[in-house]
């Protein structure tokens, strides 16, 4: 069920639990601002989720409320993860679902990084 992205942050969401170490994850990269880990249900040969360490519901919440240092740190982490995985030359796709129409299911901002094959059209028609 997609979430309502206008709701306040829910501290027991699954990615908050991953950040607190209460649920295991396959970590790809971690720094002060971000954690990157493999999606549990990969939809491409590479399917990595990058999440900010701060408590933000969605891209909307993050872009409105996060301090500049957190935004810069998170964006740089996404780029770093793709670069370190050797994905710049073959190419990759980033996706952030927001709310109901975006199909967002986990109410903690995450950027999907897909790669490893031609990814087809942007949206299913």
The verdict on 56 binding ligand 5GP (CB under 6 A) reads no
Q: Which residue in the set 97, 99, 109, 115 belongs to the binding site for ligand 5GP (CB under 6 A)?
A: 97
Longest CA–CA span in the chain (Å) reads: 39
Number of shown-chain residues binding ligand 5GP (CB under 6 A): 13
Under rule CB under 6 A, residue 104 binds ligand 5GP: yes
Beta strand pairing call for 27-30 and 46-52: unpaired
Binding mask 2-41 for ligand 5GP (x = CB under 6 A): ------------x--------x-x-----------xxxxx
Give the separation between CA 75 and CA 63, rounded to whole angstroms.
Answer: 11
Tokens of 61: 């919440």
41/68 with CB nearer ligand 5GP: 41
CB distance 110 to 50 below 8 Å: yes
Residues tagged active-site: 110
């Amino acid at each position: 069920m997609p979430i309502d992205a206008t709701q306040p942050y829910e501290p027991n969401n699954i990615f908050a639990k991953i950040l607190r170490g209460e649920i295991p994850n396959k970590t790809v990269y971690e720094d002060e601002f971000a954690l990157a880990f493999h999606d549990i249900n990969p939809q491409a040969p590479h399917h990595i989720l990058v999440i900010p360490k701060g408590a933000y519901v969605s891209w909307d919440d993050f872009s409105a409320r996060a301090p500049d240092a957190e935004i810069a740190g998170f964006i740089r982490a996404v780029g770093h993860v793709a670069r370190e995985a050797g994905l710049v030359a073959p190419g990759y796709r980033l996706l952030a679902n927001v709310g109901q129409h975006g199909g967002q299911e986990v109410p903690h901002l995450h950027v999907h990084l897909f790669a490893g094959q031609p990814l087809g059209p942007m949206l299913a028609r």
